[in-house]
């Protein structure tokens, strides 16, 4: 019986604290709306950089799967030696795929490239000068040099051709996007915490006498802090949901126009759908919204809890 009473009291206290948080949220309408607008703008800007970053990483990952190196095989190598070389390459870490390209394939490719001057290709048909090769793609372009060094140690390797300029450009773009996104996220978090803490500070200041009395009669810091924490969390969560809704609409409209324009120019690019990013985005938004709201509330309360 006593346990039931204790549980009921605990739920009543929790209900009171949450209710006070909601009342604070709706009581200070002007400051709350101002905070929601600024918080929404902050989260929206973060969301823009987030989806751009995700798409850049996605496009780079697709290009990485196509980029790699071409390993030319010694002309005197037998079929058994070619197969042995293939197996050795496949065993190297970071190798994604190995595709054999015969001498005939190389000649046919050359014919396509010089289709406007067929006499050039015809001169090579009797004595095909092109060696067979393996086209090797990697799981991580940053390991390209390391993989090349290992392949060059194998027998029957004539030469390795790579697209180092393309690889280095892709690596630099990926690293640049990650660094820029990280810096922007940190800046936006500090701005949001500052905004939330100042908004709640207005509420706390207006109720400073009430807080002093509560402290005097023995109320714990947690009991005093919770309503304001709830207010901060509400601002963060509501701003997150509004932001993700507007971001979704904006993203879908913008990507549709981009794809249409690129298609007209015969350029194909595979962008992510918003639904494919939604689960991750909503988790990140809620963590940020609740985290920023909680920290902002805690900062605004610190002075008054020391009374």
Give SS3 for 232.
Answer: helix
What pLDDT is attached to residue 83? Answer: 92
* HEC assignment per residue over 199-217: HHHHHHHHCHHHHHHHHHC
- Of 248, 249, 267, the C-alpha closest to 258 is 267
CA 244, CA 161: separation in Å to the nearest integer? 45
The residue with tokens 């095989």 is 73
Residues paired with residue 162 on neighbouring β-strands, in sequence order: 69
What pLDDT is attached to residue 64? Answer: 66
Name which CATH class applies to 68-162.
alpha beta
- Of 46, 5, 32, 4, the C-alpha closest to 184 is 46
Contact indicator for 239, 36 with CB cutoff of 8 Å: yes
CA angle 133, 134, 139 (to 5 degrees): 155
| Overall pTM > 0.85 | no
Which helix or strand (DSSP H or E) is residue 239 part of?
helix 221-264
Per-residue pLDDT of the chain (307 residues; tens, 9 = 90+): 444 434 444 445 556 556 665 566 566 677 777 778 878 888 888 888 888 888 877 877 776 666 678 899 998 889 999 999 999 999 999 898 899 988 888 778 777 765 655 655 666 666 777 888 998 988 887 788 899 999 999 999 988 887 766 667 767 877 787 788 778 878 877 877 777 777 667 766 766 676 677 667 766 766 667 777 777 778 888 888 899 999 999 999 998 888 777 666 655 667 888 888 889 888 988 888 888 777 777 777 666 555 4
- Provide the CA 99 distance to its chain's centre, in angstroms: 31
What pLDDT is attached to residue 88? Answer: 93
Within the chain, all domains assigned CATH 3.30.70.3040 are found at 68-162
* HEC assignment per residue over 102-141: CHHHHHHHHHHHCCCCHHHHHCCCCCCCCCCEEEEEECCH
CA 267, CA 273: separation in Å to the nearest integer? 18
What pLDDT is attached to residue 290? Answer: 81
């Amino acid at each position: 019986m006593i346990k039931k009473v204790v549980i009921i009291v605990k739920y009543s206290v929790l209900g009171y604290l949450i209710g006070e948080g909601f009342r604070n949220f709706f009581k200070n309408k002007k400051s709350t709306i101002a905070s929601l607008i600024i918080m929404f703008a902050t989260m929206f800007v973060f969301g823009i950089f987030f989806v751009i970053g995700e798409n850049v990483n996605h496009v780079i990952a697709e290009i990485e799967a196509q980029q790699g190196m071409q390993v030319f095989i010694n002309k005197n190598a037998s079929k058994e030696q070619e197969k042995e070389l293939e197996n050795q390459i496949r065993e190297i870490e970071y190798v994604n795929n190995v595709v054999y390209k015969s001498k005939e394939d190389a000649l046919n490719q050359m014919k396509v490239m010089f289709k406007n001057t067929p006499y050039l290709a015809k001169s090579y048909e009797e004595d095909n000068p092109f060696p067979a090769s393996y086209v090797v793609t990697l799981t991580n372009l940053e390991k390209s040099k390391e993989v090349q060094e290992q392949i060059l140690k194998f027998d029957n390797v004539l030469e390795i051709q790579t697209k180092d300029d393309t690889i280095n450009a892709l690596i630099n773009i990926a690293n640049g996007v990650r660094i820029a996104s990280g810096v922007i996220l940190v800046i936006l978090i500090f701005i949001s915490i500052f905004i939330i803490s100042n908004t709640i500070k207005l509420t706390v200041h207006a109720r400073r006498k009430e807080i002093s009395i509560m402290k005097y009669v023995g109320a714990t810091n947690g009991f005093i802090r919770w309503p304001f924490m709830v207010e901060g969390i509400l601002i963060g969560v509501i701003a997150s949901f509004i932001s993700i809704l507007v971001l979704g609409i904006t993203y879908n409209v913008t990507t549709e126009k981009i794809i249409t324009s690129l298609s007209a120019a015969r350029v194909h690019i595979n962008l992510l759908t918003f639904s494919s990013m939604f689960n991750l985005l909503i988790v990140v938004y809620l963590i940020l919204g609740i985290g920023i709201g909680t920290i902002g509330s805690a900062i605004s309360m610190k002075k008054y809890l020391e009374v």
